[in-house]
Chains A and B, each alone.
Chain A
C-alpha cells in the first residue's frame, strides 16, 4: 500500500489549513480544527493495529481514557503539565504492551470483542476506585490562566503536534521491517510465521503504537477541558468512531486515517448544526453507505481516478 504524491499533498494541505485557522477564523473554527487534529491522531494510531496489521481493535477509548486519568492524577499531584502528558503516554504504552501480550492471542471477531471489553473494564475500575480517581464525581485539573483564544491556540498546536508525531511514526514504520511484517500478518498470519516473523512481538509492537498517541491525546484533552469523568473519558462511541474514520479515509495508508477523521468531524459538525434531532441517524446512514460503496476509503477514489486517467477511460 504505497502512498502516492497525491496523498502527501492532501496531507500537507490538511495540516496547513488546520495550523493556519487562528489567522483567519473565529474560535469555533479553531476549536473544530483542534478536534480534527485530535481525532486525526487517534485514527492514525488505530491504523497501526487496525490498518497495517488487520486486527479490528476497539481499545482506542481505553487508551484515551487512561491517558486522561494518568495525566490528571499526575497534574493534581503537582507534576508539570507537559511532564504529566509524557508520564501518561509511557504508562499507557506499558499497559498496552502487557495487555497486548494477552488479548492478541485472540483473532478476528474474538479480538474485537476482547478489545471492546477492555474499554468497559477500564471504565468500571476507574469509576469504582474513588480514592484515586474521584469515582463518578470526576476530577478537576488546574486550569491554564491565559486568555481563552490563547488556550485554544495552544491546544490546537498540541493536538497538531501529537498528530504529526503519529504521522512520522507511521511513515517510519511503513518503510521499515516492522511495517512489512505487519502487512504480512494482515494477509496471512500463519504464512507470516513460516517466513520467520515473530508474529506475537510484531502484533504487540503495533498494539502499543496504537496506544501511545491516544494516551498523549487523552492527557492533553484532560488538561484542555479541565475536568474529566469516567463516562466522558471512556466512550464506547469514540472507540467505534475512530476505526470508522480510519476506514473512511483509507485504512493502512499514511494519509487516509487523518483525512477520514477530518471528513468525519466536519460531517458531524454539519449534521449536528442542521439536524439536531436526526444527526446520529443521518451519520449512521452515511457510515453504512460509505462502508458499502467505498470499502477502500476516500483515498481509493483518488487512486481510481488516477488509474482511469492513466488508461484513458474505463477498460
Chain B
C-alpha cells in the first residue's frame, strides 16, 4: 500500500446536519474514515446513529453539509447509486427478499450492486460470498425460513457480494446470543482483513471494543468524541452520555475516593 493513498480518506463527512421539522437528528457531524480502517460508532438509543447511516447511503438527504466519497461530493445520491459506488450497509431490521432463496438474495447484490456482467456471473459471485460467511449449506432455502443469526449472515453476504469499499453495519449483533455474537465478530474481522473499510454501529460496548481501535461517539445528534478506543471509554462526557449526569458523578467519586 502506498502511504499517500492510505492518508487520503475514503469517506469524509463535513458539517453534516439533518433535521426533521424542528427535531435536530444530526448537528454538524464531521469525521473521516481512512481505507481499511475499522471504526466503531457508538451512542445511546436515539443518538442519531441510524440516521447518520441513512444520510450517508442516500436514504435520507442531509439538510446541510458535505459527504465526500473518494473525494467526490455524494450528498445528493440515491440509495441505488450509493450501492453501486461501493457504499454498502446492513439494516438493523434485516431486509431480505423473503420468498427468494438465500442464493437468489445474494445474487441480487452481486448483479446490481457488484457489477456482475450476467445473472450467471452474479450467481458465481454469490456462491463465493455465501461460502465466505458460512451460509453455503443453506443456499437453496427460502430466505424467510432462516433464523435470525443466519438472516444477519445473509445480510452480510449480500453486502459483500456488492463488492463494497465501505461497509456500514447497523447493529448486526442485536438480538443474537453470546456465542452467535462471537461468530459474527470473527466474520466481521475476516471482512476487515479483505481491506474493506468497516463502520460498526453498536450500543454494546464489548462488541465495539473488541473490533475497533477507533471510536466515534454520537450523543443527541452531535459527535462528542472521536479517537482511540481506550481513551474514549475513559472520557467523562462519554460516560455521562451513557449513564446520565448523576451516575457519572457517582462513578467519578468512587474512582477518586
State the A residues within 8 Å of B (CB).
175-177, 180-181, 183-184, 187-188, 190-199
Within B51-109, which residues are at the interface with A (CB < 8 Å)? 57, 78-80, 83-84, 89, 91, 95-100, 107-109
| Any A CB within 8 A of the CB of B113 | yes
| Any A CB within 8 A of the CB of B112 | yes
A-B pairs under 8 A by CB, number: 65
Tell me, rounded to whole Å, the shortest Cβ–Cβ distance linking A115 to chain B.
24
Task: For the complex, count residues of B whose C-beta is within 8 A of A.
Answer: 24
| Shortest Cβ-Cβ A-B pairs, 6 listed | A196-B113, A196-B83, A196-B112, A187-B97, A191-B95, A193-B79
Inter-subunit contact A184/B80 (CB<8 Å): no
Inter-subunit contact B119/A195 (CB<8 Å): no
Given contacts A188-B98, A196-B112, list 7 more A-B pairs with CB under 8 A. Answer: A175-B119, A176-B119, A194-B91, A195-B83, A196-B80, A197-B80, A199-B80
Tell me, rounded to whole Å, the shortest Cβ–Cβ distance linking A179 to chain B.
9
Of the candidates A175, A184, A196, the one whose C-beta lies within 8 Å of that of B97 is: A184
Q: Which residue of chain A lies nearest to B94 when distances are taken between CB atoms in the complex?
A: A191
| Any A CB within 8 A of the CB of B11 | no
Within B98-151, which residues are at the interface with A (CB < 8 Å)? 98-100, 107-109, 111-114, 119
A196 CB contacts on chain B under 8 angstroms: 80, 83-84, 109, 112-114, 162
Inter-subunit contact B79/A180 (CB<8 Å): no
B97 CB contacts on chain A under 8 angstroms: 183-184, 187-188, 191-192
Inter-subunit contact B113/A195 (CB<8 Å): yes
| Any A CB within 8 A of the CB of B12 | no
Tell me, rounded to whole Å, the shortest Cβ–Cβ distance linking B108 to chain A.
5
A198 CB contacts on chain B under 8 angstroms: 78, 80
Inter-subunit contact A177/B119 (CB<8 Å): yes
Inter-subunit contact A195/B109 (CB<8 Å): yes
Q: Complex Cα distance A194/B85, Å?
A: 11
A181 CB contacts on chain B under 8 angstroms: 108, 112
B100 CB contacts on chain A under 8 angstroms: 183-184, 187
| Any A CB within 8 A of the CB of B49 | no
Q: Complex Cα distance A183/B100, Å?
A: 9
Within B224-240, which residues are at the interface with A (CB < 8 Å)? none
- CB-defined A-B contacts under 8 Å, sample of 8: A180-B107, A188-B97, A191-B91, A192-B97, A195-B158, A196-B83, A196-B109, A197-B80
Inter-subunit contact A194/B98 (CB<8 Å): no
Taken residue by residue from 165 to 198, chain B's Cβ proximity to chain A (1 for < 8 Å, 0 otherwise) reads as: 0000000000000000000000000000000000
Inter-subunit contact A188/B79 (CB<8 Å): no
Q: Which residue of chain B lies nearest to A179 when distances are taken between CB atoms in the complex?
A: B119
Q: Which residue of chain A lies nearest to B106 when distances are taken between CB atoms in the complex?
A: A195
Inter-subunit contact A188/B112 (CB<8 Å): no
